[in-house]
Amino acid sequence: MPFILQPSQHDSFHADGFVVVDDLISPDKIPMLHRAYDDLFSGQFETGVRPDEVNWQQGESDPTLSRQICNGWKANREIARIVLDESLAKAIGTLAGWSGVRIMIDNVIWKAPATRSLGFHQDNAFLSWFKPGEIITCWIALDDTTADGGTIEFARASHQWALGTPEGEFHAPVDYRKPMREAAARAGVEPEISYVEVKAGGGSFHHGRTWHGSGANPGPNPRRSLVLHAMRRDVEYVSANFDQGIGPVYSRYKRLGDNQLDENYFPVLWSEDGYRTAQIDDYLS
Ligand SMILES: O=C(O)CCC(=O)C(=O)O
């Protein structure tokens, strides 16, 4: 069933900078996504393509760090079926008022038991390599989540604070909320933290300026999430900023002759006029 946001959920998103939702994906998809996570983090790439960022591998990496891979969709079609979904992209487009939506990147995250935190950040702070450098994110829990199990957390209404520059560590900072607290102080507000506590398959949408991060997972259960970071269809490369944020990785897909993003690497998922990158369906079948 395609996912649809209700008007009250739009209102929450605009007031708070995020909205928590149930049933982004159906529960019967969860076991195969768990198997896809096992494959990706043990170096088995179903399509033969290595994801753009592989930040953790079984047997090689620190077991206390959160496992992270970016653009798992290129390596595994179970991941691709979720993050290239048209209805999630349409929900993002209607929340943002965009007439078309591309995937910027996905984020495949696995907080195993006894893993450390992920630092608070604003996504848009890493995006000056394209313009407009703005994204909206759909975060999907693949396990039931709890506040004390390292779920994602948001600083309410922090999308109204100033856009900062990238600061602090993403993986396992000593004080994972510190950059957010400093930003709150600059904004002159006391931060109010809200946790995404949902059943597997639920999750959230958040604005690219909303401060978010996640605490340690001290408990016995894994906390896996699949994240769709989406951009406007009409974005363009800004080559002067290719060394900023995650630009060094994703500028490698720039075409020689122009600043348009290539749909093979940043497919269009949904458009008001009905356009969607045609090759997606061949890829998924
Ligand atoms: O899943 C998480 O804990 C954080 C994800 C996140 O911050 C992101 O994808 O930008």
Which pLDDT tens digit goes with each residue over 118-138? Answer: 999 999 999 999 999 999 999
> Coil, strand or helix: which one is 259?
coil
φ, ψ of residue 258 in degrees (nearest 5): -155, 175
| C-alpha torsion sign, points 204, 84, 118, 183 | negative
Q: Is the pLDDT of residue 2 over 90?
A: no
Give the β-pairing of 100-111 and 203-207. Answer: unpaired
CB distance 246 to ligand 1 below 6 Å:
no
Ligand 1 atom nearest 123 alpha carbon = 10
Give the β-pairing of 212-214 and 53-54. Answer: unpaired
How much distance in Å is there from the Cα of 273 to the middle of ligand 1? Answer: 31
Give the separation between CA 226 and CA 139, rounded to whole angstroms: 6
Section 169-192 average pLDDT: 95
Architecture of domain 7-269: Sandwich (2.60)
CB distance 227 to ligand 1 below 6 Å:
yes
Q: Are 223 and 217 in contact (CB under 8 A)?
A: yes
Q: Quick one: pLDDT at residue 169?
A: 87
Interacting residues of 260 by C-beta distance below 8 A, sequence separation 6+: 236, 237
Interacting residues of 1 by C-beta distance below 8 A, sequence separation 6+: 26
CB distance 118 to ligand 1 below 6 Å:
yes
For 199-243, give the DSSP string. Answer: -TT-EEEEETTS-EEE--B-SSS-EEEEEEEEEETT-EE-GGGTT
pLDDT tens digit sequence for 182-203: 999 999 999 999 999 999 999 9
Section 205-223 average pLDDT: 97
Give the separation between CA 35 and CA 236, rounded to whole angstroms: 35
CB distance 153 to ligand 1 below 6 Å:
no
CB atoms within 10 A of CB 129: 23
Ligand 1 atom nearest 107 alpha carbon = 9
Give me the residue label for tokens 């179903």.
46
> Coil, strand or helix: which one is 96?
helix
Give the separation between CA 204 and CA 24, rounded to whole angstroms: 9
DSSP 108: E
Give the separation between CA 191 and CA 201, rounded to whole angstroms: 28
Give the separation between CA 191 and CA 93, rounded to whole angstroms: 28
Give the separation between CA 87 and CA 24, rounded to whole angstroms: 10
Burial of 167 (0-12, 13-18, 19+ CB in 10 A): middle
CB distance 127 to ligand 1 below 6 Å:
no
Q: Name the pLDDT band for 164 (thresholds 50, 70, 90).
A: confident
How much distance in Å is there from the Cα of 257 to the middle of ligand 1? Answer: 34
Indicate the top mutation candidate among 71, 109, 205 to test ligand 1's pocket, ranked by most ligand atoms within 8 A of CB.
109
CB distance 223 to ligand 1 below 6 Å:
no
CB distance 214 to ligand 1 below 6 Å:
yes
What is the residue with the minimal CA distance to atom 6 of ligand 1? 213
Ligand 1 atom nearest 151 alpha carbon = 3
CB distance 254 to ligand 1 below 6 Å:
no
Q: Quick one: pLDDT at residue 13?
A: 98
